[in-house]
């Protein structure tokens, strides 16, 4: 069992190392599919293409680009902004694609690093975090408005409360910025790298996980309210609901803690005896959270800690399922299918494998 846990953690650290190396241009990058669902279509960024897939049956509508290009890889989940689909690649370029036909509208080439994560779309601008340490503010035509530099790569999509934009960096800090100008309002050192977007509550509290095996609550003034240590790395984004925060760690343990003070209410292991890692962002349903496990299992767990059901796919899940209407879309790495669709009870409906 110990060997399996170490192997799981090793795979996780290797994936991170590959991404870090890619940011410096040393090695070929690798990652996992990025998925966004909208209306009748899902958009999937995976290796050399972005695919538009019908949600009704999993058939392909279009792919971008028409032909694969050397060293151009897509992994960050695309973002739909009006009549544009925004997606970054690992060749330092941010693309605006027509979501109907897959044709290029414009591209931004002013960055010097990989686009690891998705931009945040506001009414009149895009806030795009990059592995070159900068957050880029662009208008909806791709023109640079301002940029803000942090000390290390940014892997987390920013979040906003309408007043400030909050940026979490691998330099250990969370920054609050004026979205109109990019001017820093405050910054707070969280003590370790942050790789997932903080979850912002209606009360203006940011909940986040760091690679110091901690979860924290931070007021929107930058004041740390509490911090809670856990046994293993937290490689997932917290979920906040009805006075509780839920998150999972790299041993496959799910935690429920009180948002008021961080005290642990319950834990539940969904990773089995091998301690398989739960990774990424879970799908949030009315009665359950759906986590993806590294061993290819999809697990539904109730808000009281009961394991509701488990499904399996052939391959590895480095992220949670994406909720698209009444479907759960699962992006698979190292499997025989790229995307698998389930209903909300875990029944498989279709799968997508790109044509050669």
For 120-155, write each residue's pLDDT tens digit.
Answer: 999 999 999 999 999 999 999 999 999 999 999 999
> 177-184 contacts: CB < 8 A, separation 24 or more?
177/135, 177/148, 179/122, 179/125, 179/127, 179/137, 181/146, 182/135, 182/137, 182/145, 182/146, 182/147, 182/148, 184/148
Give the phi and the psi of residue 20 in degrees, each rounded to 5.
Answer: -60, -45
In this predicted structure, the answer to whether residue 21 has a pLDDT above a threshold of 60 is no
What does the pLDDT look like over 343-353, one tens digit per residue? 999 999 999 99
**Reported confidence tier of residue 10, pLDDT bands at 50, 70, 90:** very low
CA angle 158, 22, 238 (to 5 degrees): 35
Gap between the Cα atoms of 120 and 132, Å rounded = 17
Gap between the Cα atoms of 309 and 330, Å rounded = 16
Torsion of CA 260, 264, 268, 273, to 10 degrees: 140
Supply the pLDDT for residue 220.
Answer: 95
Q: What percent of the chain has pLDDT over 70?
A: 92
Supply the pLDDT for residue 26.
Answer: 28
Give the domain 115-229 fold.
Lipocalin (2.40.128)
Gap between the Cα atoms of 341 and 311, Å rounded = 12
CA angle 194, 199, 204 (to 5 degrees): 120
**Reported confidence tier of residue 31, pLDDT bands at 50, 70, 90:** confident
Give the phi and the psi of residue 23 in degrees, each rounded to 5.
Answer: -60, -30
105's tokens = 């509208």
In this predicted structure, the answer to whether residue 5 has a pLDDT above a threshold of 80 is no
- Weakest mean pLDDT among 3-7, 139-143, 286-290: 3-7
Supply the pLDDT for residue 274.
Answer: 82
Supply the pLDDT for residue 3.
Answer: 33
What does the pLDDT look like over 66-117, one tens digit per residue? 999 988 999 999 999 999 999 999 999 999 999 999 999 999 999 999 999 9
**Reported confidence tier of residue 11, pLDDT bands at 50, 70, 90:** very low
In this predicted structure, the answer to whether residue 339 has a pLDDT above a threshold of 70 is yes
Handedness of CA 68, 72, 77, 81 (dihedral sign): negative
Which residues in 111-219 belong to E strands, given as ranges? 120-121, 125-129, 134-139, 144-149, 159-160, 165-168, 173-177, 184-189, 199-200, 205-210, 214-219
Of the candidates 172, 130, 157, the one whose C-alpha atom is nearest the C-alpha of residue 19 is: 130
Question: What pTM value is reported for the model?
Answer: 0.91
Supply the pLDDT for residue 122.
Answer: 95
**Reported confidence tier of residue 356, pLDDT bands at 50, 70, 90:** confident
29 or 300, which is more confident: 300
Q: Which residues pair with 300 in a beta bridge?
A: 290, 309
What does the pLDDT look like over 243-278, one tens digit per residue? 999 999 999 999 999 999 999 999 999 998 888 999
Of the candidates 259, 348, 256, the one whose C-alpha atom is nearest the C-alpha of residue 298 is: 348
DSSP summary character for residue 107: E
Gap between the Cα atoms of 201 and 300, Å rounded = 23
In this predicted structure, the answer to whether residue 201 has a pLDDT above a threshold of 50 is yes
What does the pLDDT look like over 169-194, one tens digit per residue? 999 999 999 999 999 999 999 999 99
Q: Compute the average pLDDT of residues 303-325.
A: 95
**What is the pLDDT of the chain when averaged over all its residues?**
91
What does the pLDDT look like over 54-65, one tens digit per residue? 999 999 999 999
In this predicted structure, the answer to whether residue 18 has a pLDDT above a threshold of 70 is no
**Distance of CA 53 to CAs 40, 64, 301, Å?**
9, 12, 28
Could you state, in order of their start, the residue ranges of all structural domains in the chain?
115-229
For 120, how many CA atoms within 13 A lie in the half-sphere containing its CB? 23
Could you count the other beta carbons within 10 Å of the beta carbon of residue 263?
10
In this predicted structure, the answer to whether residue 7 has a pLDDT above a threshold of 80 is no
Could you count the other beta carbons within 10 Å of the beta carbon of residue 352?
22
Could you count the other beta carbons within 10 Å of the beta carbon of residue 174?
23
């Amino acid at each position: 069992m110990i060997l399996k846990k170490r192997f799981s953690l090793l795979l996780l650290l290797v994936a991170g190392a590959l991404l870090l190396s890619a940011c410096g241009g040393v090695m070929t990058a690798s990652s996992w599919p990025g998925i966004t669902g909208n209306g009748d279509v899902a958009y999937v960024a995976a290796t050399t293409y972005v695919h538009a897939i019908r949600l009704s049956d999993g058939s392909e509508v279009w792919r971008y680009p028409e032909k694969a290009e050397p060293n151009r890889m897509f992994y960050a989940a695309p973002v739909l902004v009006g009549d544009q689909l925004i997606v970054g690649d690992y060749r330092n370029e941010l693309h605006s694609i027509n979501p109907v036909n897959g044709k290029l509208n414009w591209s931004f080439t002013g960055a010097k690093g990989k686009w690891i994560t998705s931009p945040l779309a506001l009414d009149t601008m895009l806030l795009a975090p990059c592995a070159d340490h900068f957050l880029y503010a662009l208008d909806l035509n791709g023109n640079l408005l301002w940029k803000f530099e942090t000390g290390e790569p940014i892997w987390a999509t920013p979040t906003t409360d309408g007043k400030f934009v909050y940026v979490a960096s691998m330099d250990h800090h969370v920054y609050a910025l004026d979205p109109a100008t990019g001017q820093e309002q405050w910054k707070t050192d969280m003590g370790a790298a942050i790789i997932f977007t903080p979850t912002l509550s209606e009360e203006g509290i940011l909940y986040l996980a760091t690679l110091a095996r901690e979860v924290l609550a931070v007021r929107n003034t930058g004041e740390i309210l509490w911090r809670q240590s856990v046994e293993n790395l937290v490689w997932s984004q917290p979920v906040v609901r009805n006075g509780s925060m839920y998150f999972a760690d790299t041993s496959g343990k799910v935690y429920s803690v009180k948002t008021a003070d961080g005290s642990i209410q319950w834990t539940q292991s969904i990773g089995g005896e091998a301690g398989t890692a739960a990774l990424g962002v879970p799908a949030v349903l009315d009665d359950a959270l759906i986590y993806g496990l590294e061993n290819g299992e999809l697990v539904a767990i109730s808000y009281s800690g009961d394991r509701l059901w488990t499904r399996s796919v052939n391959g590895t899940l480095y992220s949670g399922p994406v909720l698209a209407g009444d479907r759960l879309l699962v992006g698979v790495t190292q499997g025989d299918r790229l995307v698998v669709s389930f209903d909300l009870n875990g029944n498989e409906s279709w799968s997508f494998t790109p044509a050669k």
